[in-house]
Amino acid sequence: MDIDGIVDYIRERQNEDGGYSFCRGAESNAEDTYYAIEILRMLEVKPRNMDKTVAFLQGLQYQDGRFDSVKVAYYVTTTLTCLGSKPLKPISKVVRFSEGMIEKWESADVYIEAVSEIENLYLAVEILKTFNSLKNSEDVQKHVLRLQNNDGSFGSERFSRIASTFYALKTLTLLGYNVKTLRDVLRWIRRCEVPSGGFVSSPEESSTHMEDTYFGVKALKVLNESPRYPQKTLKFVAGFQNPNGGFRRSIFLGISDFESTYQAVSVLKTLLTLF
């Protein structure tokens, strides 16, 4: 893995306002800024123009404390915390925004291109946990547990089940649930593991993308388990890196993006602790 190439790839895509965009010339956005700062943090590289980045993120919150979505709320609050700052509006408004998302979660429409129907719930729970404002955890646990399938996985076949299983495990852990007691979940994740390296989104699938391996490795980590083929998975993930230093979503071809680069770096960091 070319570490210097990753750092250059990220730094070259910072805009004048302090935010980031994986596509040069495009406007800064919360998601890419979050991934950029997280990647640099994992690589122990100090971000440039941090004051501008903080100001950009703080400007994404409305006067009434709302954000455009729970994802934007998560990206902004998490990144500001990482940079030693916080939103300009009172924390109580961020908390209320996240609580509202949880209250309407089961009846809310899920974006058709979303990777998992549990992702937004996880993000809201994470925000509330960060600000020590999580309530009614048992009710949320019940909502998540109802999504477990007979084979041990979580979520609908309309979405990535390896992603939904990861988000379910993370959410339940945040809520204080002992995920080790869940039936068949570890066995199902193991069935998604590929002997030649990486993971697939479900045992019935044959193609794999960066996010499948990310969710597989991270789901095992939540369970305090490790991949069976760490060295092969390391080599597999390294094969996603493009000449510009970033990582692509597909093993075969594609442009680099910040999300795939974040997932690759995070997986590699996790796997390297096993050697």
Residue 212 CA, chain-centre distance (Å), reads 12
Q: What is the pLDDT of residue 46?
A: 97
Q: What is the mean pLDDT of residues 223-246?
A: 98
Q: What is the mean pLDDT of residues 38-56?
A: 98
Instruction: Express each pLDDT in 143-154 by its tens digit.
Output: 999 999 999 999
Mean pLDDT taken over the chain: 94
- Other residues' Cβ atoms within 10 Å of the Cβ of residue 111: 12
Helix and strand counts by DSSP (H, E) for the chain = 12, 2
Q: What is the pLDDT of residue 157?
A: 78
Q: Confidence class of residue 106 from pLDDT cuts 50, 70 and 90? A: low
Look at residue 176 and tell me whether its pLDDT is greater than 80: yes
Q: What is the pLDDT of residue 104?
A: 80
Residue 118 and residue 167 in contact, taking contact as beta carbons nearer than 8 Å: yes
Rounded Cα distance between 215 and 229, Å, is 15
Rounded Cα distance between 80 and 173, Å, is 24
**In the 8-state DSSP scheme, what is residue 107?**
T
Rounded Cα distance between 160 and 154, Å, is 9
Look at residue 187 and tell me whether its pLDDT is greater than 70: yes
Rounded Cα distance between 87 and 65, Å, is 9
Instruction: Express each pLDDT in 203-234 by its tens digit.
Output: 989 878 999 999 999 999 999 999 999 999 99
pTM of the model: 0.94
